[in-house]
Amino acid sequence: MILEALNYAATWPLTSAGHRPFIRSSVNLWARANRCRVAWAEHERQTKAAILKAAEGCRQRRTVVVLGSGLLRDVPVVDLSRLFDTVVLVDLVHLASVRSWIAMKGLKTVRLIDRDVSGLEALLAGQPLEPLSFLRQVPYLDLVVSANLLSQIGIGVARRLGGQPPEDDRIRQVIAAHIAGLEQVSAASCLVTDVSYTVIDRGGLGHETVDLMQCVDLGTPSASWDWPVIPFGEESRDYRIVHRVIAR
Ligand SMILES: C[S@@+](CC[C@H](N)C(=O)[O-])C[C@H]1O[C@@H](n2cnc3c(N)ncnc32)[C@H](O)[C@@H]1O
């Protein structure tokens, strides 16, 4: 609790006013990831492997952009900074703990951008939904990685729309716009995202499965695996929640 408060306080002055409301959820994610590190380890390893495979497949390796870089738990940032001239990390917020880790590792070619990549503001303003159009301004872009971000965009938008049914078409639109943005960018892309989750009881019985992609077609995955996001004891002794993750 004290470490969380310190991380929160240290991140506050480093974050613009518009992005400060997101510090709390990032600190909460940091705390949960630490508590669940054993359960999450295999998912983090598989995500890193998918990103590295995409990186090594790039003919040129000048700039890589990682969307949803977050806590850098599932992003092989040291390898990326070895492979690429510049690594750009994009998230709603970058915690002080993450910033100091980057400095401690001496990763001098890593740049941080605080940005909402959902496109919700444009959607609400009736403007064209092109949430990844800013990537056109990134010089020498060779790879874009979406790192366990897309489901969170959908959840964040649903929360912002407040009280709307989960099948609100606007959630589907922002998810589809992210996929379209990755497909249209003139660089290679690597998408890793959880696509659904299932609530499972102690007897192994699945009670409810929820589609996090709102039926948007992501194409054929090159790999998929389970991510036990909520192990037994995290929220309840009686159930766990397992997310299905795909890489493409
Ligand atoms: C499950 S975490 C990803 C974990 C991260 N790749 C890591 O290695 O720790 C989802 C991340 O997406 C970010 N995020 C959620 N909505 C976003 C948005 N609209 N724009 C940018 N980042 C967003 C969150 O801040 C969080 O860091």
86-142 pLDDT, tens digit each: 999 999 999 999 999 999 999 999 999 999 999 999 988 999 999 999 999 999 999
Nearest to 8 by CA among 23, 28, 29, 25: 23
Residue 184 has pLDDT above 70, yes or no: yes
Question: Encoding tokens for residue 114?
Answer: 């605080």
Q: What is the mean pLDDT of residues 226-235?
A: 94
pLDDT at 164: 58
pLDDT at 165: 58
For ligand 1, whether the C-beta of 174 sits within 6 Å is no
Alpha carbon distances (Å) from 180 to 96, 134, 145:
32, 14, 14
Confidence class for position 1, pLDDT limits 50, 70, 90: confident
Distance, in Å, from the CA atom of 230 to the CA atom of 201, rounded to the nearest integer, reads 12
Which pTM does this prediction carry?
Answer: 0.96
For ligand 1, whether the C-beta of 148 sits within 6 Å is yes
Mean of the per-residue pLDDT values of the chain: 95
Cβ(90)–Cβ(75) below 8 Å: no
Q: What is the DSSP letter of 41?
A: H
* Least confident residue range of 14-28, 45-59, 151-165, 187-201: 151-165
Q: Which amino acid would we find at residue 63?
A: T
Q: What is the mean pLDDT of residues 157-178?
A: 84
219 CA → ligand 1 middle, Å: 22
Confidence class for position 159, pLDDT limits 50, 70, 90: confident
Distance, in Å, from the CA atom of 116 to the CA atom of 67, rounded to the nearest integer, reads 10
Stronger pLDDT, 23 or 236, i.e. the higher one: 23
Confidence class for position 151, pLDDT limits 50, 70, 90: very high
Determine how β-strand 86-91 pairs with β-strand 63-67: parallel
Burial class (CB in 10 A: 0-12, 13-18, 19+), 159: exposed
Q: Among positive and negative, which fits the CA dihedral 8, 134, 190, 224?
A: positive
Longest Cα–Cα distance of the chain, Å, equals 53
Q: Which amino acid would we find at residue 71?
A: L
> Could you give the 3-state DSSP secondary structure of residue 156?
helix
Crossing angle of helices 2-11/23-35, nearest 10°? 140
For ligand 1, whether the C-beta of 74 sits within 6 Å is yes
Q: What is the DSSP letter of 69?
A: -
The domains of the chain are located at 2-191
Alpha carbon distances (Å) from 203 to 29, 106, 199:
28, 48, 12
Residue 163 has pLDDT above 90, yes or no: no
* CATH code linked to domain 2-191: 3.40.50.150
Ligand 1, atom nearest to 44 Cα: 8
Q: What is the mean pLDDT of residues 182-210?
A: 95
The per-residue pLDDT for range 49-100, each reduced to its tens digit, is 999 999 999 999 999 999 999 999 999 999 999 999 999 999 999 999 999 9
Cβ(19)–Cβ(114) below 8 Å: yes
- The residue to mutate among 87, 152, 195, 212, having the most atoms of ligand 1 within 8 angstroms of its beta carbon, is 152
